[in-house]
Amino acid sequence: MSRFVPVAKVPELSPGQMKMVVADRERLLLVNMAGTFYAISDACGHDWAPLSRGKLEGHVVVCPRHFARYDV
């Protein structure tokens, strides 16, 4: 059974923004997509680059190091 871990308040993240948060010692990338919130790993699968330093292009996060693309 999963449990809810609060990491931010809704007003902290406007639509189209992303923010690195920590939950249970894990770095997550919180993304507000038109009012719907998503959380994915903040680490690129290629070399653990922080995706929170990348760009959000529509619904895709682009890795800052190797430009790998992750669909939120």
For residue 39, being part of any structural domain is answered with: yes
For residue 61, being part of any structural domain is answered with: yes
For residue 8, being part of any structural domain is answered with: no
CA distance 57 to 71: 10
**CATH code of residue 44:** 2.102.10.10
pLDDT mean across residues, the chain: 93
- pLDDT, residue 57, reads 96
For residue 38, being part of any structural domain is answered with: yes
For residue 7, being part of any structural domain is answered with: no
3-state secondary structure of 44: coil
Count of domains in the chain?
Answer: 1
Model pTM score: 0.88
Identify the band that residue 71 occupies on the pLDDT scale cut at 50, 70 and 90: very high
pLDDT in tens, 14-40: 999 999 999 989 999 999 999 999 999
- pLDDT, residue 5, reads 86
Q: DSSP assignment, residue 43?
A: B
For residue 5, being part of any structural domain is answered with: no
